[in-house]
Amino acid sequence: AAFEVGDAVVVTVVDPDLDELPAVRETVMVYVTVDDTGDAEVVELAEDSLSSGIFRGSVPTTTNASNHTGALLTTVPTSASGSIVRAWYHDTVPEGGRAARLKMCSEAAVSGGQAYFRAGPDHLIVTVSDADLNTDPLRAEVSEAWANSSLGAVRVALTESGIDSASFTGAVPTTTSASPPAGTLQVAAV
């Protein structure tokens, strides 16, 4: 859609999965960027009506580089094509899923780090690559997983490797002791 500088860019997201509370008009945050200036704004979209799953919002545009807080900084078009504005949000749940947040999904790629390690001094490195865990494209997030051995299981705190990477990593201390400390994975001696 075309717009003139000073116009508001209207953003609409249609996603029934975002309607988690049928009796409440909910909101969703989207990220709007301008290609040629690199400017970006986070825009809150409000649900049109109760339980509609249709969210709308807008952000004004300006060419005033010295004062553009809350507005997208665009350039004055010198040709038929001006600034390109893109809006996106991260759809964390597939259509019809109706989950608030997925902790793990069958499509996630999980790797256990090194093939061999020494219990005690070495930690088991756990990496989970799962776009469903990446719910906020503007910050590195945290999640959790479980590390299992034939002798037990422990919860692993995972941290996203970077903003919007969808790759989460954590480390688990290991031991061959019959009485492992809390948070340490008991493994069999080889």
Return per-residue pLDDT of the chain as tens, 190 residues. 556 667 777 888 888 777 788 889 999 888 887 777 778 888 888 999 998 888 888 888 877 777 777 777 776 544 345 566 777 666 665 554 333 332 223 333 444 444 455 566 667 778 887 777 777 777 889 988 888 777 888 888 999 988 878 788 888 888 888 888 898 888 877 6
pTM over 0.95: no
40 burial (CB, 10 Å; 0-12 / 13-18 / 19+) is middle
Kindly report the backbone phi and psi dihedral angles of residue 189, in degrees, each rounded to the nearest multiple of 5, phi listed first. -75, 140
